[in-house]
Structure 1
Amino acid sequence: MALRLTPTSGAPGEASPSAALGNILPFRRSGAEADPPRRIHLSPPQLAGGEMQALEETLRSRWLAPAGPIPRAFEAAFAEASGFGEVLATSSGTAALHLGYRILGVTPGDEVWAPSLTFVATVSPAAQMGARITFLDVEPGSWTLDPDLLRDALAQAAREGRLPRVVVPVDLYGQCADLDAIVSACDRWGVPVLSDSAESLGAQGRGRAAGKGARLACFSFNGNKIITAGGGGALVSDDPRLITSARHFSMQAKESSPHYQHETLGYSYGFSSVLAAVGLVQLRALESRVAARRAVFARYVAGLADLPGISFMPEPAWGRSSRWLSVMLIDADRFGADREVVRGALEAVRIESRPVWKPLHLQPAFRGSRMIGGNVSIGLFERGLCLPSGAMEPGEQARVIEVIRRLARA
């Protein structure tokens, strides 16, 4: 039977490949006889085994609300996993950041400094609190907040009498920021550090766990993270006073009284027992998940690094990334296709990939915010592509690699 070859199309409603890519995309038989390939997601939730049993036991216990023994058991387990002495589990990573800003005293008009290359949740709570956001560039060796740039900017701000209320480094895509250098620069001027470690549970920097060394650190258990509870987050510290204060605010700032007494206003940011039960099971798999993600990254390097114009997110000698996401850089002139052509080709065969974070100083929501530096962040956004990094069969990762190799200039 004669075959008619046609480019693979995406699922209904998904982007179709450009006609210009028709001669380099994988082909399949046309008609109903050919099933579309299974979609490969960027970082889908992964079960560890035991979640269903934990949920059944939680439901039978009737502890469903953010109270009781299960959230506290999760907090104790997370303290051990993260290396911090004090943990408050929250309804989301963004809630944890909001509480961090609150207890560090951010008020309207204060300055908050953070890298531009990050997800909006890093600074959105501070902006919503009325703070002015200053963005800083990242260093090319780690893609995280540039300590030298920060040090110079703080010295200038001190001379001008406009030091920030808090500096928020970000552990990006599983890679820790250089907290030793960042905290040292901030300590000179008495500026506290709140680490956004939402993406980097299981990573290490200078032999310490992600966020360790900051006054406070925040984590996320969203569905795409290396450890997920289906949602939730955590605010952590080695200062019990800070977490005690955060816990008070997370429970609507209720005072100890037989009636509802409120001296100030708080939030409903508790972590439910249901999510905590899932998270407890997930935490047991943390080390194996890190090893698996690092193996995914290594296979991408082995399969693509020989191509002209292809490089990968570096890992500084002082850090050990969890490789939550495997991130590739594309030099279009050398490779023969730019980032968007590669992303479109992957999407055409039902493979999800995402551009590197668009720098926040380029986002309309932050129009007018101050930016210090920026060329590194812009260049990474223009050339960076996050590849599928979750649990994949070997053949599925080979599909990703094959599509990219087909696009390379001969």
Structure 2
Amino acid sequence: MRSQDYDRIYLSPPHLGRHELNYLHKAVEDNWVAPAGPNLKGFEQDICQYTGAAHAVALTSGTAAIHLGLRLLGVGPGDEVLCPSFTFVATANPILYLGATPVFVDSEPTTWNLGPTLLRTAIEDRLRLGRKPKALILVHLYGMPAQLTELLAIAAEYDIPVLEDAAEALGSRYQGRLLGTFGDVGVFSFNGNKILTTSGGGVLITNNADYAQRALHLATQAKDPAAHYQHSEVGYNYRLSNLLAGIGRGQMELIEDRVKKRREIFSWYQEKLRDIPGLRFAPTEPAGSRSNRWLSTVLLDPAATPITPEQLRQHLETRNIESRPLWKPLHLQPLFAEAPMYGGAVCANLFARGLCLPSGSSLTDEDLIRVAEAVCEVLSTAS
């Protein structure tokens, strides 16, 4: 059969619930269709109530939130920012926006996140060169909590502020506490493929009232307090629409259900595909952590199967099933060819061996069976 003979199974499509339209209809009826209005304030309150953060500023994207977060932490031209290499480019692009330089650090193989040992090595080497990093970006890749106890202790030892990129990790927990709340500022994304979506959008959270006030100022073109339009510094048009915030309010009512479903999908794959030669599910969830399992990810062992992740991906496409390689490490991207890098073998190996399987919370049992059968077709028969 041809791929078009099958309905498309997407990697992580939006999954709307029952209440988003209520908020949208109310916004239209009341003419609140600008980047202001009750949905916007309500969405921020929903985020604060769920995470326990004192302040939230809803923005046009997670990338915008990282950009503003770095400005809040004082990053500017000529500075250096520590950043994992194994992440999406949106984590590091805002460093370049500010005229700063990313200093990339390799992952550790358990959670796939920033490695504490190499982080210390990177900091000490930059200090030796007279280049104290201005900030550290921590990422929780694919929703998996990083080794926060160790990483935060190192950052505190060297007095380096932390921006917590939890764009993929809404609903994940570390030692009972929701991710995004450990850094000086935290960031979530509500892009269309995330566990919850506002179509496009993000949010910056913090317990620092001054940070929240300044983020809101910068996100609304940095207007000075005057009757006329007066500006003393560069600002941005980053405020989320009241309409999209309405979608977010409806989505937030479903967060724990969505986490539960994604975790069930990961467990289902593990159970059904556990005997497939050369296939391993990763990363590993450390004790005391709960990943939202935003995406179900697998590694292929070249010693046990001749099939590569790209061959598996292409086979899934013949069944009209979308899958995706793991993030290509940023130190291997042409854009960052000149950036300092510490380590690199771990994340390069993960990229070479990994694939993301369909993980959306709207997947049916029939969809999951189709994915599993397609995986088995190519891996079980490989010699």
Question: Normalising by the residue count of structure 2, what TM-score does the alignment of the two structures yield?
Answer: 0.97
1:402 correspondence with 2:370: no
Aligned to 1:378: 348
Which of residues 216, 220, 229 in structure 1 aligns to 2:198?
A: 229
Structure 2 gaps, min length 5:
none
User: 2:355 is matched by which residue type in structure 1?
Assistant: L
| Alignment partner, residue 315 of structure 1 | 285
The one-character-per-residue Cα deviations of 1:249-268 (angstroms, maximum 9, x if unpaired) are 01111122111121212001
**Sequence identity percentage:** 44
Structure 1 counterpart of 2:365, one-letter code:
P
Q: Which residue of 1 aligns with 2:46?
A: 77
Match of 1:27 in 2: none
Checking the alignment, whether the CA contact within 8 Å between 2:180 and 2:188 is kept in structure 1 is no
Question: Partners in 2 of 1:144 and 1:384 — Cα distance?
Answer: 15
- 5 Å matches for 1:388-399? 388-390=358-360, 391-399=362-370
Residue 338 of structure 1 and its aligned partner are, at CA, apart by: 1.2
Aligned counterparts, 1:11-410, within 5 A: 11=4, 36-313=5-282, 314-390=284-360, 391-408=362-379, 409=382
User: Match of 2:2?
Assistant: 9
Give, in whole Å, the separation in 2 of the partners of 1:178 and 1:320. 12
How far 1:179 moved relative to its partner? 2.3
**What CA distance in whole angstroms lies between the structure 2 residues aligned with 1:352 and 1:256?**
50
Conserved 8 A contact 1:147-1:182: yes
What is the number of residues matched between the two proteins? 379
1:65-97 deviation line (CA, Å, top 9, x unaligned): 111222011100011122211100001111111
Tell me, yes or no, if the aligned pair for 1:251 and 1:267 is still in contact at 8 Å: yes
Given that residues 24 and 247 in structure 2 are in contact (C-alpha distance below 8 angstroms), is that contact kept between their aligned partners in structure 1?
Answer: yes
Cα distance in 2 for partners of 1:289, 1:228 equals 11
> Do the aligned residues in 2 keep the contact of 1:174 with 1:203 (CA within 8 Å)?
yes
Tell me which residue corresponds to 1:16.
none
How much does 1:335 deviate? 2.5
* Amino acid corresponding to residue 189 of structure 2 in structure 1: S
How far off is 1:44 after superposition?
A: 0.3
Higher alpha-carbon Rg: 1
Report if aligned partners of 2:102, 2:339 keep a CA contact under 8 Å in 1. yes
Question: Would the aligned equivalents of 1:179 and 1:211 in 2 still touch at CA under 8 Å?
Answer: no
Amino acid in the other structure paired with 1:53 = N
- Aligned amino acid, residue 10 of structure 1: S
Offset at residue 205 of structure 1 (A): 1.3
Aligned-partner SS, 1:335: coil
What secondary structure sits across from 1:138 in the alignment?
A: coil
8 Å contact 2:168–2:194 — kept in the other structure? yes
SS in 2 for 1:333: coil
Q: What's the TM-score once normalised by structure 1's chain length? A: 0.90
Q: What one-letter code is carried by the residue in structure 1 that aligns with 2:118? A: L
Q: Is the 8 A contact 1:332 1:339 kept in 2?
A: no
